[in-house]
Amino acid sequence: MLPNFTYERPGSVDEALEHGSSEGAVLHAGGTDLLGCLRDGVFSAKKVVSLSGLEELRGISPTRDGGLRVGALTTLTGVASDPTIAERYTVLAQAAASAASPQLRNQGTIGGNICQRPRCWYFRGDWHCLRKGGDTCYAIAGENHFHCIFGGSGCYIVHPSDTAPALQALGASVRIASRSGSRTVPIESFFLLPADDIQRENLLEPGELVTEVLLPPVASGTRSVYRKVRDRGAWDFALAGLAAVVTMPGDSVETASLVLSGVAPKPWRAAEAEGALTGARLDAETIARVVAASVAGALPLEHNGYKVALVRGLMEETLRALA
């Protein structure tokens, strides 16, 4: 059962920021993640501030620099089915289409998707883990099949979003509003590792609100793809995924952005693999080098060593498809 809280439905961003800044307030976009967290006692709220009245946060429109603005309240279905995104930002359309189920994509928003809380079953369950202010990570000696192989320290969650790695691979930024003004942050700096802050997954301060996601213009010759491996054929979170954006005006790769999902507490840039790919011809020899580099630094836990092989396989499949 949901606990008691007060409910506000502001009609402007300023009003939302006012309500969102009060102690114990939480923001409600589509509610597909938030309401489960409140019902299960993952965290509590004194006040739920619905964003559903903020029409200016909906929709997709071109920007002056030739890029695209995606309002934070745009649904995942809206992102997946937008013709410009499908054609020019294919990796994002594919990532949004691969998230959750059709009903959840109709209700869940892009802002909520990048801000959703982790799915670690200890964090979501009755365990007072480090991320909830406790002093133990129960995954270290526990059931860590779905936990991270990169970037863990103290806490071993994986970031659950499919759209976040796609946005990062595209070089997107997020616009953040607060009562003291607005700022634009590259999405790569938006997400935090446990070493940065063990209780937060992103740099939003209480009372701050993501208003939009900004996509830069795409260079000609860009190819992009999102591939995701899950436990079963129907909807599920990524065991591992790869967002790849490659610029290849001729035979050689000019720029490469390779960002993994499902394997780290934030979208994980496979920097060594990008280095091995940039400037090279996309042939079998290059692919073998990139595959080897893609798992550099992986530190599996007791039960998730299979993710190392998954990442290698995903990288090989994806690069072969792009070639």
Shortest separation between residue 20's beta carbon and ligand FAD, angstroms: 8
Nearer to ligand FAD, 80 or 130 (CB): 80
Of 4-12, 98-106, 280-288, 303-311, the segment contacting ligand FAD by CB under 6 A is: 98-106
CA distances, 145 to each of 121, 153, 161, 247, 303 (Å): 11, 16, 18, 35, 5
User: Which amino acid makes up residue 305?
Assistant: G
Q: Is 71 in the site for ligand FAD (CB under 6 A)?
A: no
CB 277 within 8 Å of CB 290? yes
Q: Where in the chain does DSSP place strands (E)?
A: 6-8, 25-28, 47-50, 60-62, 68-71, 173-178, 181-186, 209-215, 222-229, 240-247, 255-261, 268-269
Shortest separation between residue 279's beta carbon and ligand FAD, angstroms: 32
Query: In sequence order, what are the beta bridge partners of 25?
Result: 47
Q: Using CB under 6 A, which residues numbered 201 to 230 contact ligand FAD?
A: 204, 209-210
Nearer to ligand FAD, 156 or 237 (CB): 237
Out of 72, 92, 157, 172, name the contact with ligand FAD by CB under 6 A. 72
Q: Using CB under 6 A, which residues numbered 112 to 141 contact ligand FAD?
A: 112-113, 115-117
Q: Is 314 in the site for ligand FAD (CB under 6 A)?
A: no
Shortest separation between residue 110's beta carbon and ligand FAD, angstroms: 7
Q: Is 99 in the site for ligand FAD (CB under 6 A)?
A: yes
Out of 10, 19, 33, 90, name the contact with ligand FAD by CB under 6 A. 33
Out of 111, 118, 152, 265, name the contact with ligand FAD by CB under 6 A. 111
Q: Using CB under 6 A, which residues numbered 171 to 200 contact ligand FAD?
A: none
Burial class (CB in 10 A: 0-12, 13-18, 19+), 314: buried
**Nearest residue to 221 (alpha-carbon basis) of 252, 190, 242:** 252
DSSP symbol at 75? B
Q: Is 31 in the site for ligand FAD (CB under 6 A)?
A: yes
Sheet holding 255-261, edge to edge: 222-229, 240-247, 255-261, 268-269
d(CA 186, CA 208): 16
Nearer to ligand FAD, 94 or 113 (CB): 113
